Amino acid sequence: MNSPNIMRSDDLKAGNRRRILNTLRKQGPLTRAEVGKLTGLSQAALSAQFSLLTEQGVVTSENKNLDVQKRGRPKTTVALDPTAASVVTIALMIDQMSFSLVDYAGNVLSRSDINIDTRSLDTTQLFDITVKGVNDIVRPLGINRLKAISIGFQGVTNSSTGELLWSPILTMDRVPIGAMLEDRFGVSVSVNNDCGLITKALHVQEKDKLGNRFGAVLFAHGIGLGLYLDGTPFTGPTSSAMELGHIQFEKDGALCRCGKHGCIEAYAADYGIQRTALDPSSLNIPTGPLTDEAFGQLVVAAKNNDQSAIDAFATAGKAIGFGLDTLYTLLEPLPIALIGHNADAVHMIRTEIENALTDAGRNPSDIAGLLHCFHDALQLLQKGLVLEGVSVVDELFADSAVDKTLETS
């Protein structure tokens, strides 16, 4: 008869802990009074939850001396304890995997990059390489402190099941990497599309510029789109859903890595830009990544008035502009972050995107204010991976009072 009330009480306490941890992660270190003001929790509720969180080693307190000219007791602040847990982030990119070890406060402690031919891997090989990468990077702190693994990659994911549904950088589909790693390490594993993770990072880093509703277009070995709507990255019912790069731009046009012809990616991805500049009639698609040096040469050629290179970047911008016009037909125009690994390239493409949207009937002054350029794609992806990983641990610690197995070792 009393179990419903008990469950409601546990849910309320877990919710209070969640609010405390979220506040400390975004604003900390803070005094208890400041936490109370920001969360709206009473001092009695705060005291009870801080006692539990301190006992579990999730938060730590520090006395900070006031200015010597001021009177009063030292100021006591609370913060997330970096040693409470560790997270491993994994960025799976074309021919590379990047592993990072992160503490509970969100600090990156170490990083390891592995160069591999991603398209030659089968499921077992991908799993074995991933397990070795995790074991190697957690070795200094020990596996017992590991509480979550956060994976981001280019392609379509099912976040609820942890599957890699499809990616142009792999030859196999429906890889249950999340479940496989959970079974191997006994920790929570989150699997997300890279653009979705980038939107999480942008919302923290560029909220004043982008607001709570925006999109992010990533220019890399492929073309990705992430949407951040009303406080959360958008996903479809069963997948990451946002495949802007595979909207058809030209009927029977250039060959895309997905096997279709005329996709936006076939013109706007780095390999598409290179192909258009050097040999637009070619059907060849590079199996590996276009190096920064090779792409930089295209940028330099365009800046030096090489017409073929200029035309290639112009075509890329037109293709992206076509895709954004389609998006704006479905949603009201919203800010768009244009992200790439070369600042000059992003700015060149931006000009043609604006022209394409204007040609489609969009107001030029509105469009100019909606497009924002960034060129730190890998940094944003890493930040998104960290935010995702530590938020998973926050949820585990918020619920830990009713599941004692989640207490830190």
pLDDT digits (tens, 9 = 90+) for 187-203: 999 999 999 999 999 99
Task: Classify the C-alpha dihedral 238-201-244-333 as positive or negative.
Answer: positive
Beta bridge partners of residue 216, listed in sequence order: 226, 337
Lowest mean pLDDT: which of 90-94, 100-104, 270-274, 279-283? Answer: 279-283
Which of the four pLDDT bands, split at 50, 70 and 90, describes residue 67? low
Residue 349: which of 326, 375, 331, 328 has the closest Cα?
375
Task: For the chain, give the mean pLDDT.
Answer: 88
For 22-48, how does the pLDDT look when each residue is reduced to its tens digit (9 = 90+)?
999 988 799 999 999 999 998 888 988
pLDDT at 66 over 80: no
Which of the four pLDDT bands, split at 50, 70 and 90, describes residue 1? very low
Residue with tokens 């993770």, as numbered in its chain = 197
Cα–Cα separations (whole angstroms), residue 339 to 328, 330, 374: 19, 22, 5
The distance from CA 274 to its chain's CA centroid, rounded to whole angstroms, is 27
Is residue 155 a contact partner of residue 195, using CB atoms and an 8 Å limit?
Answer: no
Surface-to-core class of residue 200, CB atoms within 10 Å of its CB (0-12 exposed, 13-18 middle, 19+ buried): buried
Rounded to whole angstroms, how far apart are CA atoms 9 and 26? 26
Which of the four pLDDT bands, split at 50, 70 and 90, describes residue 123? very high
pLDDT at 77 over 80: yes
Read off the pLDDT of each residue in 328-341 and give the average, rounded to a whole number: 90
The distance from CA 110 to its chain's CA centroid, rounded to whole angstroms, is 19
Cis status, amide bond into 29, omega within 30 of 0: yes
CB-facing half-sphere around the CA of 197: CA atoms within 13 A: 33
Rounded to whole angstroms, how far apart are CA atoms 216 and 226? 5
Surface-to-core class of residue 72, CB atoms within 10 Å of its CB (0-12 exposed, 13-18 middle, 19+ buried): exposed
What would you report as the CA-atom Rg of the chain, rounded to the nearest whole angstrom? 24
Q: Which residue has the higher pLDDT, 71 or 261?
A: 261
Instruction: State phi, psi for 235 to the nearest 5 degrees.
Output: -135, 160
For 347-392, how does the pLDDT look when each residue is reduced to its tens digit (9 = 90+)?
999 999 999 999 988 888 788 889 999 988 899 999 999 999 999 9
Lowest mean pLDDT: which of 75-79, 166-170, 280-284, 339-343? Answer: 280-284
Instruction: State phi, psi for 408 to the nearest 5 degrees.
Output: -65, 150
Rounded to whole angstroms, how far apart are CA atoms 349 and 367? 14
Buried-state track 392-406, b at ≥16 Cβ within 10 A, e below 16: bbbbbbbbbbeeeeb
pLDDT of residue 233: 86
Which amino acid belongs to residue 405? Answer: T
Token readout for 270 is: 């780095």
Is residue 56 a contact partner of residue 408, using CB atoms and an 8 Å limit?
Answer: yes
Is residue 138 a contact partner of residue 131, using CB atoms and an 8 Å limit?
Answer: no
pLDDT of residue 73: 64
Rounded to whole angstroms, how far apart are CA atoms 82 and 247? 44
Rounded to whole angstroms, how far apart are CA atoms 151 and 245? 21
Rounded to whole angstroms, how far apart are CA atoms 29 and 26? 9
Rounded to whole angstroms, how far apart are CA atoms 92 and 197? 13
Rounded to whole angstroms, how far apart are CA atoms 237 and 258? 22
Read off the pLDDT of each residue in 83-87 and give the average, rounded to a whole number: 96
Beta bridge partners of residue 163, listed in sequence order: 158
- pTM (2 decimals)? 0.88
Query: Ranked by mean pLDDT, which of 69-73, 310-314, 396-400 comes out on top?
Result: 310-314
pLDDT at 308 over 90: yes
